[in-house]
Amino acid sequence: MREYDVRITVVKMLSLKDVFGSSPPKATAETKSVCPKLKEGDTFVSKGGFPQAFCGWAFADIQRDIATIRFGGSYPWMQEEGVVYSSCTDGLRPVVFRLERAI
């Protein structure tokens, strides 16, 4: 079975206000902005494992989708083969990633 590298691109970062609007839950001041570990446009490559400088929590959340793309899979709801959008499960300030097979 052929294995591929997977390019991970940060496409959207949401803040507490983006998620909850004018009625956010009570949270610490640091959670009111977007995730501080990444920024939109950042790109990482998974070469079969955890990319250096990537967020460990986000990787744990999206690794199933990375594995699907890595081993040649695709998703039927995506028109582009070898591409999927996935996100971390931070309920206060999620980050959306584009995962694509690097050929």
pLDDT of residue 22: 85
State pLDDT tens for residues 9-33.
999 999 888 888 888 888 887 777 8
Could you tell me the CA-to-CA distances from 37 to 2, 42, 70, 81 in Å, in that order?
32, 10, 24, 29
State pLDDT tens for residues 29-80.
777 788 889 999 999 999 989 999 999 999 999 999 999 999 999 999 999 9
For 18, phi then psi, to 5°, come to: -60, -40
Distance CA 81, CA 79 (A): 6
Query: Looking at the 3D structure of the chain, how many domains does it have?
Result: 1
Beta strands in 14-61 (DSSP E): 43-46
State the Rg of the chain over Cα. 15
Domain coverage including residue 57: 5-102
pLDDT of residue 29: 78
